[in-house]
Amino acid sequence: MIILPRLLGDLLAQVDERRGAELGLDFADHAVDFRAEPMTNPTRVVSEEYMAAARQALRLGRADDRLLRAHEAFVQEGWRSPGDSEAVNLLDSAVRLACQDMLIEAGVYGRPGRVPLTPQDIAKSAQSVVGRRYSERAAEGEDVQEVNRRARWEEARWQVQRVIATEPVPGGGTGR
């Protein structure tokens, strides 16, 4: 039997820091799925921008004005709706994984407040978010624990597929 979370952990242990950060953002985006998640509109808007700004900063290798503005808006709006807190926490963790050191250098966070995160942490949290969402939407009479377990499994399957599908060819070739 293939244990997907173990396989995922093994795969993620082999990626470099930047790839891990990119994958963490991918995992959070997929788990929250802005089209499906019942977030309030202001939270959705600032969250989408925060994720886009984090991706841009990751490509640039530094915190730019867009990330700083998006972070401020996310902090101000992102915590106002208690019903959105699980998704907000996941997105915040993914951006911290990707951009925490940049935000420390920009003076947003202090070094003592650095939170150690790994892509595995984001993957596991994303699986939990998805499992909980499906459990809440389970039909009457369904085994909620089984719905949760299957949803987490499917999310882990997607994550494994994402790692494999986006892994660059060794040596920079096209692989074809």
Q: What is the per-residue pLDDT across 122-167, written as a single tens digit (0 to 9) for each?
A: 999 999 999 999 999 899 999 999 999 999 999 999 999 999 999 8
Q: Does residue 91 form part of some domain?
A: yes
Tens-digit pLDDT profile for residues 26-53: 999 999 986 666 777 888 899 999 999 9
**Would you state the pLDDT for residue 174?**
55
Does 80 or 72 have the greater pLDDT score?
A: 72
Calculate the average pLDDT of the chain.
Answer: 90
Q: Does residue 36 form part of some domain?
A: yes
CA distance 5 to 64: 35
**Number of other residues whose CB lies within 10 A of the CB of residue 54:** 30
102-109 mean pLDDT:
94
Q: Does residue 173 form part of some domain?
A: no
Q: Does residue 175 form part of some domain?
A: no
Alpha-carbon dihedral 66, 67, 70, 74, rounded to 10 degrees: 180
Does 61 or 113 have the greater pLDDT score?
A: 61
Residue 115 vs residues 51, 77, 96, 102: alpha-carbon distances, Å: 18, 21, 8, 13
**pLDDT grade for 84, boundaries at 50, 70 and 90:** confident
Q: Does residue 47 form part of some domain?
A: yes
CA neighbor of 158 nearest in space, from 131, 140, 118, 137: 131
Q: Does residue 159 form part of some domain?
A: yes
Q: Does residue 174 form part of some domain?
A: no
Q: Using an 8 Å Cβ cutoff, are 43 and 78 in contact?
A: yes
**Is the confidence at residue 104, as pLDDT, over 80?**
yes
| Structural domain of 48 | 4-167
**Would you state the pLDDT for residue 80?**
79
Total domain count, the chain: 1
Q: Which amino acid is at 28?
A: A
**Would you state the pLDDT for residue 1?**
64
The full DSSP string for the chain is ---HHHHHHHHHHTS-HHHHHHHHHHHHHHHHTTTTS---HHHHHHHHHHHHHHHHHHHHTS--HHHHHHHHHHHHHHTT-GGGHHHHHHHHHHHHHHHHHHHHHTTSS-GGG-----HHHHHHHHHHHHHHHHHHTPPTTS-HHHHHHHHHHHHHHHHHHHHHHHPPPGGG----
**Would you state the pLDDT for residue 29?**
94
